[in-house]
Amino acid sequence: MTSANKAKLQLQERVPLPRTAWKLADLAVLSLLLALLARRASSLVSSGGTAAACTWCWVAALICEAWFTVVWLLNMNAKWNPVRFVTHPERLAGYWAGDDELLPAVDMFVTTADPKLEPAVVTVNTVLSLLALDYPAGKLSCYVSDDGCSAVTCYALREAAEFAKLWVPFTRKHGAKVRAPFAYFSSSSGGGAAERGGGGGAADADAEFLRAWTSMKNEYEELVRRIESAEEKSLVRRGDGAFAEFVGADRGNHPTIIKVLWDNDSSKSESDEQAAGDGVPSLIYVSREKSRTQPHHFKAGAMNVLTRVSAVLTNAPIMLNVDCDMFANNPQAALHAMCLLLGFDDEVHSGFVQAPQRFYGGLADDPFGNQMQVIFEKVGHGIAGLQGIFYCGTGCFHRRKVMYGVPPGSGTGATKADSPSYKELQKKFGSSKELIESARSIITSKEAPAAVADLTSRVEVAKQVSACSYETGTSWGQEVGWVYGSMTEDVLTGQRIHAAGWRSALLSPDPPAFLGGAPTGGPASLTQYKRWATGLLEIVLSRHNPFLLSASKRLRFRQCLAYLVIDVWPVRAPFELCYALLGPYCLIANRSFLPKASEPGFVVPLALFLAYNAYNLGEYVDCRLSARAWWNNQRMQRITSSSAWLLAFLTVVLKTVGLSETVFEVTRKEQQQQQGSPSERGGRSPVAAAARASGSSCAAPGFCSASGRS
């Protein structure tokens, strides 16, 4: 394609966002912070230590305020140059001359770990939304990792594969704007052409659609009934057929179980099923081998197993990973992502494409401070203007070769001499010949990955590469795949990708690409924050520290500082707790750590208090959120800092000195949000609720505290 045609068919646009007024406000708050530090330091010098107790309070306050200034500078850096990316999926047909076969294949990964905390109905809805994406079905394959080794989850997915033969053609025929069944049937009532994106259809067409809608809703309700009535013991008790491998399997100690629930390629040769299933992507269930004598590395280990299993089965050059409760809300999500993955002149600008997290069914005004609209609109867009948005653990499109540790510029136009040797690949990827050959095809980019005619013929090979001992002596978890060593494997893996020189792009179509369920209770939210903070501090204290990556690799300095915005969450806890306790201590001890109201110096902390809170409230208003949402997040920030972050800080300290080990805690997914009619949930559709997603918690002084999910 000529440069003129590429310019005409520009798939994406990088649009800088104006922020002049906010920059002036940033500088105003910074000047007040510096003035407060200067005033306190000069007061300490002039006092000469005459009052030891009072001096101690002022020294503690000075240290805390200096830390707050550092945090403010980190956030200023992250927010300074915001950008957004506008994508044009309608131009893809012209880019590929109308040939869909030229679109790259996508392997879609869904992870679940506990059938009780993450109900099978939730996972099924996510899988069905992915199978129904507007993308060539032969180019999509969906892999579900079940770390709970649950026969109920496998049964639910098998039933979902059958339902998909009806659901996928229905959604594509009627142009459904959301493809997760629970959201579709909650937000529509079968009301005719308007519901399915058409306009002014004839009465008979509307009647036909209503009959189809009613029939499909009945089918979905029957699917939900079968899944919810399924019992683990009764399924395993059969001991034959599809669930024989689950007999005697223990969640923490069992062999690999891989089942091809639907094979798109093999279905094409079955004429009696072609009409129903030809448009349904492949669906594969994976429960990796577990052993009590081998580490399994939590979600990072599961993702690496999916990467290897998919490599020997379908080997798509693009991989999408989502959590089990984050469904595809925009049916063109994959096409929007392709605009960013293919639309740059140099692929270095899109090592991965991350969609911001949006939530359905959120409580009004975010009482528990776990929504994320503010952080992605303010901090997220700002970081997108640096080396790129962080990897958030879900809703992300990866280049497979980037996950294989290939640096930018490698593979393009490579000669045979440049191709890595078999021994080099064996040392890096392991002993599987099939995996080595698939990795070579991805790394060299010289030939399209070989297609497997029958996925079931490769199941034994897939089981080999998913063995818990396969990674021993290889680069998996270090230079290849998701990185081990932190509870927040997503941030750690993203840092490794950026440190290799790749950039990332922010995917923010309208409507949002993906919607997930936020915890609707305080304890669940605090558990999530504790897990994130624990993993972030593990990164700071490891060889993956952003400063070390910036000094020794290709992580840009401003991107390094942007990573520190979230990496220092648990470090902030002791400073914020100390500052919060200074007031009560001084009140009891009849001391003061602030100037008296009659003193000229009182103007500085007063102005800082008013300016900071006005700035913070202004961010919420700018994000179309209420003052109550701002207040709720301020309140939850104090609770989070003094509980979840502080516990994370102590956990990592105890682990560092060898007195404790970190434990991965799964967050409960709210199944009730995916059941019943809109009236049963107070008339709120998940789609409408997502449009009102609340803002994130905000710290003092001035950082929105929500993060990517794990």
Residues 515 and 534 in one domain: no
pLDDT at 598 over 90: no
DSSP assignment of 165-229 equals HHHHHHHHHTT-S---HHHHHHH-----GGGGT--S--HHHHHHHHHHHHHHHHHHHHHHHHHHH
Which member of 114, 146, 490, 567 is catalytic?
490
CB atoms within 10 A of CB 457: 12
Weakest-pLDDT range from 44-53, 609-618, 648-657? 44-53
User: Is residue 20 assigned to a domain?
Assistant: yes
Residues 655 and 645 in one domain: yes
Which residue numbers belong to the known binding site for UDP-alpha-D-glucose?
Answer: 118, 147
**Amino acid (one-letter) located at 379:** V
516-561: pLDDT as tens digits = 987 777 788 888 899 999 999 999 999 999 999 999 999 999 999 9
Q: Rounded mean pLDDT of the chain?
A: 85
Residues 147 and 296 in one domain: yes
CB atoms within 10 A of CB 504: 28
> What is this structure's pTM?
0.89
User: Is residue 6 assigned to a domain?
Assistant: no
Could you tell me if 79 and 26 are in contact, meaning their C-beta atoms sit under 8 angstroms apart?
yes
Residues 504 and 448 in one domain: yes
Which residue numbers belong to the known binding site?
Answer: 118, 147, 299, 323
φ/ψ region of 31 (left if φ > 0, alpha if ψ in -120 to 50, else beta) reads alpha
471-525: pLDDT as tens digits = 999 999 999 999 999 989 999 999 999 999 999 999 999 999 999 987 777 788 8
Q: What are phi and psi of 46, to 5 degrees?
A: -70, -30
Q: Average of pLDDT values for 234-240?
A: 76
Residues 500 and 626 in one domain: no
pLDDT at 683: 36
pLDDT at 629 over 80: yes
User: Is residue 691 assigned to a domain?
Assistant: no
Residues 263 and 370 in one domain: no
Count of structural domains within the chain: 2
Q: Give Cα 348 to chain centroid, integer Å.
A: 21
C-alpha distance from residue 710 to each of 63, 301, 373, 375, 649 (Å):
33, 13, 17, 17, 18
198-233: pLDDT as tens digits = 444 567 778 889 999 999 999 999 999 999 999 988
Residues 27 and 71 in one domain: yes
Residues 375 and 403 in one domain: no
pLDDT at 55: 79
* Domain end call among 463, 486, 519: 519
DSSP class of 324: T
What CATH number is given to the structural domain containing 511? 3.90.550.10
User: Is residue 633 assigned to a domain?
Assistant: yes
User: Is residue 589 assigned to a domain?
Assistant: yes
For 40, the domain range is 16-80+362-390+521-666
pLDDT at 53: 52
User: Is residue 171 assigned to a domain?
Assistant: yes
Residues 454 and 525 in one domain: no
User: Is residue 585 assigned to a domain?
Assistant: yes
Which member of 107, 114, 146, 147 is catalytic?
147
Active site residue 418: no
Helix (H) or strand (E) holding 506: strand 504-506
With b for 16 or more beta-carbon neighbours within 10 A and e for fewer, the 355-388 pattern comes to bbbbbbbbbebbbbbbbbbbbbbbbbbbbbbbbb
| Cross-strand partners of 515 | 327, 358
Q: Which of 27, 33, 42, 22 is nearest to 607 (CA)?
A: 33
Residues 311 and 427 in one domain: yes
User: Is residue 477 assigned to a domain?
Assistant: yes
Q: Which of 484, 531, 567, 538 is nearest to 664 (CA)?
A: 531
376-392: pLDDT as tens digits = 899 999 999 999 999 99
* Domain end call among 470, 493, 519: 519
Active site residue 147: yes
436-446: pLDDT as tens digits = 999 999 998 76
Which residue numbers belong to the known binding site for Mn(2+)?
Answer: 299, 323
Q: Average of pLDDT values for 597-620?
A: 93
Residues 71 and 218 in one domain: no
Residues 544 and 466 in one domain: no
